[in-house]
Structures are given as structure tokens and as C-alpha cells.
A and B are shown apart, each in its own frame.
Chain A
Amino acid sequence: MHPFSYTRVSDTGEALDAGHRGGRYIAGGTTLVDLMRETVERPEVLVDISGLPLDEVTVTERGGLRIGALVTMAEAAAHPKVRTLYPIISQALELSASAQLRNMATIGGNVMQRTRCTYFRDVTADCNKRASGSGCAAREGFNRTHAILGASDHCVATHPSDVAVAFAALDARVRLTGPDGERQVPFADFLLRPGNTPQREQSLRKGELITAVEIPAHPRPLTSGYLKVRDRQSYEFALTSAAIALHIRGGVIREAKVAAGGVGTVPWKLPAVERHLVGERPSAPLWAAAAERAAVGARPLKHNRFKVELLKRTVERQLRIVGGTK
């Protein structure tokens, strides 16, 4: 680990000052300390933001949900409002990492976490994300867990977060504060596809701080849930996952929100699946036909071809679970 100086801040202004001077925020530390030990991350100044008052879950005026950036994964998952309004978020969180990690890790840190690509984590390997222009060892390497959607010639790494998939499905917004004031970014624009600049992962400006993730109100009744498929039953990242929320009224699907994880360079929205569902009545053939559209545009690599079929089946199964089989 490279040496760093450490400073603790107690209000947002102080944090932004330190961040603007090049300090690196640390929340739960479960991504950052791990990657610092691997010397993938080499911050010179750590700014401890855990004392900031960004640790509340609130229901917004319109019936949406605001989850403070410093709410831990465990607290968010267990929060009664989260459980009743958006069980999909609790499920995605409780299927993430371990109880210990969820006690430490925060919502802000979670959406900021970096890829688990083994070449990214190995400082002796070529990786454009870590060392711009060095190449991508995963493209021709062992890429079983890598992305089939949203990749570029420069990077094929997945975004590993589970709850980010639920946030993407629910059209969440990321609330930010920075030297130039506050702003909100739609979740879909917050995490960036690699393109030619895989080292840029978020549309975050220098020194900007995430203050909360906000879920807009969705028409009720809403049924939602998260399904995660992985190599072992727990404490493992997704090979594929599906986050689905359905608004069904009068026997007809009025609104469908569908996103997939484990398959994209960012949490992957599935608008083709959503379009196929809206206006229809729930049925097993409908789920199958909609899920058939889940892998539109997929470009598998040598070792991850299985993800194409697995993704469709994951979406179909989760449609059945959330929407019923009638």
C-alpha cells in the first residue's frame, strides 16, 4: 500500500474543500482499502466522510425514496420503508457481499465500486481501465465473467454492483453536491460505458460528493424483486441477474421496469423487454417472449457465451416470480 495522509471531515463544505484539493473520499472502505492494498488505487490523501450527516432514508414528498449516501447496505436493506416500498432494493442488497461487508459498505460507495475483473486487480496485467493505453488482457484472456453487453475494444469488464441494477431498473437519480452546487444525474447517465475512455467510470466532476440516491415514485400497486444467478449460492458476484418491477392494474401490465446485472459494462436496462410487456396480460408465453428480447445486441466473448442463454432464462424466471404465472 502506498503511504497516504488521512483527514476526517465533519461537514459537507469541509469535505468538498478537501475533495477539490484532490483528496479521495472514503466511506465504508471495502472497495478502496482492498484496491489500495493491491496498489491499483494510490490516493495521496484520504478524506474520511463517515461523519457527514448523509445517513438517512426518507420518503420524498411524492412517495419516492431518498437513501443517503452513507446509509450502510445493511441499514438500507433492513429499513422498513425500503422493505415495503421497494423490496427489490432490500433483496438486491441482501444478496450482495456478506453480512460483515454490508455492515461496513455504504450506498454511495456501492454504486462507485470498481470492477472485479481479475486483470484490473492485477497490476502486472494489461488493463486500459487501470493503466490507460496498456491494452485489455481480458479480451483474449479468461473472460468467463465479463460483459456481453456494452463493451468496447478497450474494455470488457462488468460493473459488479447488485443494487445498482435495481436502481437502474427503477430510474433512480444520483444526487450530487460539488464546488458548483448541487445537481441530479439520472442513474442511466451516471455510470459510463467504457468506449474509448474505460478509465472514466462515472460522470462525477472533480471533488463532487454523492449525497443520496433517489428513487422516484412509481404507480402502485408495484410488485418488484431481484434474482441473482451465481457460481455459489451466497457471497459471490452475479453471473447474471434481473431486477424487475411491474405495475399491473385490471389484469394488464401498465408499467414494466427491467434491468440486468452481471452482463453489462454498466447495469443494463432492457427497454425491448419492457416494451414487449406493457399493455399485455401476464402469462407464461408472454414472459418467455419478452425474455427472448433480453440479450438483444449481445456480443459474447470466448468464455462467456453461456451468459446469453442464461440471461434470457434469468429474466424469464424473474418475470414469472414477480408477475405470477397466470
Chain B
Amino acid sequence: MLVGSGDAVAAGPAPSSPVSLTVNGRPRTVTVDNRTSLLDLLREHFGLTGSKKGCNAGACGACTVLVDGRRVNSCLTLAVRLEGAEVTTIEGLADGDQLHPLQQAFIDEDAFQCGYCTPGQIVSGVGCIREGHTGSPEEIREWMSGNICRCGCYVKIVRAVQQTAGRK
């Protein structure tokens, strides 16, 4: 499969490269236009539209995924660089029908309105809990600041992260 970048088509074929990575446990091998971001690869070519495109510039966190266990902005990650990487998206957090505890906590706490930022918030929250930055609401706020919520659900987002961390 040859994967385009979503950019305006340039004169002549744009340089592309093969890359093999694992997405939510499933091995994938694709040839990507070098300009393709991980976010576009996930959304446009793997049909994984959970990760959202807010700013496409690292400034909102809606595109947050885990790469090799660490939370990153997929909009600023070039797919071509991910040879051998393990990517986890919001779609990969649940265990079958069993939601990830943080997903359940977002529902229980009613931690969203429009839901656009939510996948990024949850994946980022998983990273935040793993990193151990959940000692207090203030600490969670600071370490979750890379995820903007236009609906202003911060109080409940912090609560969901705190509860899930506490339950661990």
C-alpha cells in the first residue's frame, strides 16, 4: 500500500519510504510519502479516526498517542521515522469490551462535552499516570496541560485521572 501525505501534490512522485510498525498490537508494513504524519497515517490510511487533528502543530494535544509507551503528539511525528515502533492509540486501550479504567472514569465523571479532545486527553492521562505525575490535582493539571479542552472540562478530567491513578 502506498500512502499519501494529504499535502498538495507536488510535480513528479514525492519521495516515499517503506516502514514497518505495530499499531495497537497489529503489525503493519506500508510505504509512505515521507511527509506523512503519524496522525494522517492513522486517520486517513488505517481508519483509526479516534486520534483527532486539532491544531496540527503540537499546540493542543488532540492527536496524542503512545509511541513505545510514551505519550507524544502524532501530528509532529513523521511516520517514516517509526521503523519498529509500537504505537498505541485510543482504539487500542480497551481490552475487548472492557474499557480501560481511565475511559470508564471519563464516563463516570462526565469528563467531556463535545468529546473532540477526549481521545487525546485519555491517552495523555494514561501516560501521565504511568509517569507518576498524579500526586495532587495541581500536579495533574500541570502534567496534563498539553491537552487543551475548548469545552472547559478540566475539573472533571483531573478528577478522572486522579481516581484512576488512585485505583491502580
Contact = CB atoms under 8 A, between A and B. Distances in A.
A-side binding surface: helix, strand, loop or mixed? Answer: mixed
Contact of B143 (A36, A97, A99): A99
Contacts of B10: 2-3
Given A33-B78, A100-B64, A101-B58, A234 B37 contact: no
A48 interface: yes
Interface size class of B (residues with CB under 8 A): 35 or more
Nearest to A232: B145
A147 interface: no
Interface stretch (B23-31, B41-49, B100-108, B124-132): B124-132
B118 interface: no
Contacts of A26: 78, 81
User: Which among A1, A36, A234, A235 has the greatest number of chain B C-beta atoms within 10 A?
Assistant: A1
B76 A99 contact: no
Contact of A34 (B15, B57, B124, B146): B57
B15 A5 contact: yes
A306 interface: no
A99 B34 contact: no
Interface residues of A, number: 28
Interface in B119-148: 124, 127-128, 131, 133, 141-148
A110 to B, nearest CB: 14
Interface string A93-108: 0000111110110000
B73 A100 contact: yes
B61 interface: yes
A103 B133 CA distance: 14
Contacts of B17: 6
Nearest to A50: B81
Contacts of A169: none
A30 interface: yes
User: Which among B7, B70, B147, B148 has the greatest number of chain A C-beta atoms within 10 A?
Assistant: B70
B127 A99 contact: yes
Contacts of A186: none
Contact of A29 (B7, B70, B76): B76
A37 interface: yes
Contacts of B133: 99
A104 B5 contact: no
Contacts of A30: 58, 73, 76
B35 interface: yes
For the complex of A and B, list the 10 residue pairs with the smallest distance between their C-beta atoms, beginning with the closest: A98-B146, A234-B145, A3-B14, A5-B15, A235-B145, A103-B70, A1-B35, A6-B34, A100-B146, A33-B76
29 contacts: A1-B5, A1-B7, A2-B10, A3-B10, A3-B15, A3-B35, A4-B34, A6-B15, A6-B17, A6-B80, A6-B81, A26-B78, A29-B76, A29-B81, A33-B78, A34-B76, A37-B56, A37-B57, A46-B78, A50-B81, A99-B133, A99-B144, A99-B145, A100-B73, A100-B146, A103-B127, A104-B76, A104-B77, A234-B145
Interface of B: 5, 7, 10, 14-15, 17, 33-35, 37, 56-59, 61, 64, 70-73, 76-78, 80-81, 83, 124, 127-128, 131, 133, 141-148
Interface of A: 1-6, 8, 26, 29-30, 33-34, 36-37, 46, 48, 50, 74, 97-101, 103-104, 233-235
